[in-house]
Amino acid sequence: MWRMNEANRQVTRRLNGSGAVITAVSLWLAGLFTLALALPPTAAGQEAVLDILPLRPFNFDISFNQRTFAPQARVIAAQVGVTALRYGALEMRTVYQYYSHHTPTFVTDQHSLFLNPRWNNFIDVLDFPRTRPINRIIRHVLFGPLEERAVPYVGTLIGGTLPGRSQASPGYLYGGQVGVRFPVARGFSVDMGLQYTRFEIDFKDKSDLSQQWLFTIGIRL
């Protein structure tokens, strides 16, 4: 009986901790939206016009990832997304990611669906001093001759995975990203980013929290 009570307390602490993390991420996400919406159009680098469900641009990416659980291997995943909301420098994307790893000893298929708010050209808030703006220096150092075309961004990820807590139930996912997009032609650009995520996953009948680093590269059109 004592062992059952102790196990129940551990489960409760884990669920409470997960809820606290999700709440913190949600508050940080709300703060990001508030800050971006408060920026004047000149600071955001785009005209602030609300566009709901524009769908385009679509994104098609592949990602090279390293995770800490289920399995601990460098693998390739694919993801596709659409634009759900756009307001000036701020956009909300909806992304589906698929990962599969088959070996003679195990098979795992992971489905993830998450919201991906992004703040484009975020470094342009450093448009000061007037004589030598900090954002122009950063752009020149990072992107060189492509500084005028580069669109750096930061974003968050929040959603769910399947399998999660078990093979039949979903788990939560959250994380952050930083990246850059390079427009190549009208309506076509190349996107590269680095993502960090934490998510629940069921692997070999064991549920755990996995950490994952992803390098993504893809196109937007």
- Alpha carbon 153 to its chain's center: 11
Average pLDDT of the chain to the nearest whole number: 81
Q: Which range, of 32-36, 195-199, 210-214, averages the lowest pLDDT?
A: 32-36
Q: What is the pLDDT of residue 91?
A: 96
Separation of alpha carbons 101 and 176, rounded Å: 24
Separation of alpha carbons 53 and 82, rounded Å: 9
One DSSP character per residue, 57-99 reads EEEEEEEEEEESSSS-SEEEEEEEEEEEEEETTEEEEEEEEEE
pLDDT greater than 50 at residue 7: no
pLDDT greater than 70 at residue 123: yes
The pLDDT confidence band at residue 21, using thresholds 50, 70 and 90, is: very low
pLDDT digits (tens, 9 = 90+) for 67-95: 776 656 667 889 999 999 999 999 999 99
> How many angstroms separate the Cα of 33 from the Cα of each of 40, 109, 193, 197, 203?
13, 33, 20, 20, 35
Q: Kindly state the average pLDDT of the residues 58-67.
A: 90
Q: Kindly state the average pLDDT of the residues 108-120.
A: 93
Q: Which of 10-19, 59-68, 110-119, 202-211 has the highest mean pLDDT?
A: 110-119
Q: What is the pLDDT of residue 54?
A: 95
Tokens of 221: 């059109």
Separation of alpha carbons 159 and 154, rounded Å: 17
The pLDDT confidence band at residue 47, using thresholds 50, 70 and 90, is: low
The pLDDT confidence band at residue 31, using thresholds 50, 70 and 90, is: low
Q: Kindly state the average pLDDT of the residues 49-53.
A: 93
How many domains does one find in the chain?
A: 1
pLDDT digits (tens, 9 = 90+) for 137-183: 999 999 999 999 999 999 999 999 987 877 778 889 999 999 999 99
CA-closest candidate to residue 146, choices 120, 184, 197, 179: 184
The more confident residue out of 23 and 194 is 194
pLDDT greater than 70 at residue 51: yes
Placement of tokens 């508050």 in the chain: 27
Q: Which CATH number is 174's domain given?
A: 2.40.160.20
Tokens of 121: 């050209």
Q: Kindly state the average pLDDT of the residues 29-48.
A: 49
Q: What is the pLDDT of residue 103?
A: 67
Q: Which range, of 29-43, 142-156, 206-220, averages the lowest pLDDT?
A: 29-43
Residue 61: give the domain boundaries. 2-220
pLDDT greater than 80 at residue 29: no
